[in-house]
Structure 1
Amino acid sequence: MRTLLLLTALTTLAFATAGCGDSPSTPAAAADGLGDTTQHGAPRVASPMVFANSAKKPCGLLTEPQLKTLGMPGVEGVAGAGDTGPMCDWDDTPGTSGQRVSFTFTKGNGNGGLDRVYELKSTFKLFELQAPIQDYPTLLNAPTDDRLKGVCTLVVGITDDQILTTTIQMRTTPKPAPRAFEPCVVAREAADLALTSIRTAG
């Protein structure tokens, strides 16, 4: 668990700043008239998500049917909170799927969202743009590139100033997980499920 939590914390803490609200603000595009990208080139979020309820109960991001979809039926989520923000972790690395899934919201609102990630991209070893998920902008982002070690971190902009970070860690030894070397594929699948849950819960 320490490896996963440290990776998630390093990624998220790098651009999280203090804030007290957890509901989306007015879309920046409407507020400042700057167009389709933010100050540092991140795509703006056309349809900001209402995420307050999900941030309060992050373990609700994966339902039992969704866990079955990921090959992790019956795995219990463990909630956590700290400097990075509310999160939940499902650990099945000893089990059949051999994987661990973690979601993290950055603490508070007004932390810069994807714009802050873009601003700090030179500090990350992994910064790779990805196709949107449910029309929400995404990228791979981490202090180190550990994809060949079964680790992937995917960031989704759910509002202009809030992101959802999905981190996958696969068992690679002694017996590799069935999908040990495609953690980013699993990250996209998990993030897609989580976005659906956010739409439902708000």
Structure 2
Amino acid sequence: MRRWLLCCALATVVVSGCSSVGVEQAPPETGSADSTTPPEITQPALTFGRFISDPCQLVSREQLATIGIIADPGKATTEVIGPECSWEADKTTDTGIAVILMTNSAGLDSVYMTRAEGYFAETRIGNYPAVNTDNKKPVGRTTPFGDCSTAVAIAKSVAFRVTAHAYKPNPDYEEPCRASDRVANWVLETLKAGA
């Protein structure tokens, strides 16, 4: 029995040591696992006003190059929930992304209202409340591509969302939320710099 407990403890340490660097994972802060209310924002409120006309400026060319997006300058469109910029991967082994400013929604509140519709996992990006979502369960692997969205609250009823998608053999296929979290961190740093 003692040997079994020691093995379990060792396995827990090993698994814990494999978490990704740079993305802050946090347990849910809401009182209930099925809460439809996001946690309060404890960090300074941010705005994305100056990026509404050009959301493609939220991510730098240097950052894009690190995930294999070199040729695509970004395509700005207006979606139902707000301005979006999307970048296609140069190769199927790279990761494609899209960033949308949720100007026509209730921010993270609207994400919580649909939490029962698919994959939903609370997290934090730069200590701001965030949620990883996907319309499939389990996240990613039920389709030919891995897909995950990370929505981040930056002020009361104000949020942005990053979607990442990748195909095999890209490691992001297995963990697409790692990719969307990484880009969400980049966007958050850009917004902080412009505050």
- The two structures have a TM-score, normalised by structure 2, of 0.72
> Which stretches in structure 2 are left out of the alignment for 5+ residues?
1-28
Change over 3 Å in CA distance of 1:84–1:112 after alignment to 2: closer
Partner of 1:76: 73
Q: CA RMSD in A?
A: 2.4
User: Which of these two proteins has the greater Rg computed from alpha carbons?
Assistant: 2
Change over 3 Å in CA distance of 1:189–1:114 after alignment to 2: same
Question: How do 1:35-184 and structure 2 match up within 5 A?
Answer: 40-46=36-42, 47-92=44-89, 94-95=90-91, 97-108=93-104, 111-122=105-116, 124-130=117-123, 132-145=124-137, 146-148=139-141, 149-172=145-168, 176-184=169-177
Contact 1:128 1:140 in 2 (8 A): yes
Q: Shift in Å at residue 194 of structure 1? A: 0.9
Distance, in Å, in 2 between the alignment partners of 1:96 and 1:147 is 15
Distance, in Å, in 1 between the alignment partners of 2:152 and 2:182 is 12
Distance, in Å, in 1 between the alignment partners of 2:118 and 2:97 is 21
Partner of 1:190: 183
The letter for the 2-side match of 1:60 is Q
Q: Shift in Å at residue 182 of structure 1? A: 2.0
Deviations 1:98-149 (A, max 9, x none): 22100111234xx322223223322x2111112x111111111233234114
The alignment of Structure 1 onto Structure 2 pairs a total of residues equal to 159
Q: Shift in Å at residue 165 of structure 1? A: 0.9
Q: Shift in Å at residue 178 of structure 1? A: 4.8
SS of the equivalent of 2:172 reads: coil
Change over 3 Å in CA distance of 1:133–1:194 after alignment to 2: same
Distance, in Å, in 2 between the alignment partners of 1:51 and 1:105 is 8
Contact 2:36 2:115 in 1 (8 A): no
> Which stretches in structure 1 are left out of the alignment for 5+ residues?
1-35
Change over 3 Å in CA distance of 1:180–1:118 after alignment to 2: closer
Structure 1 moving runs of 4+ over 6 Å: none
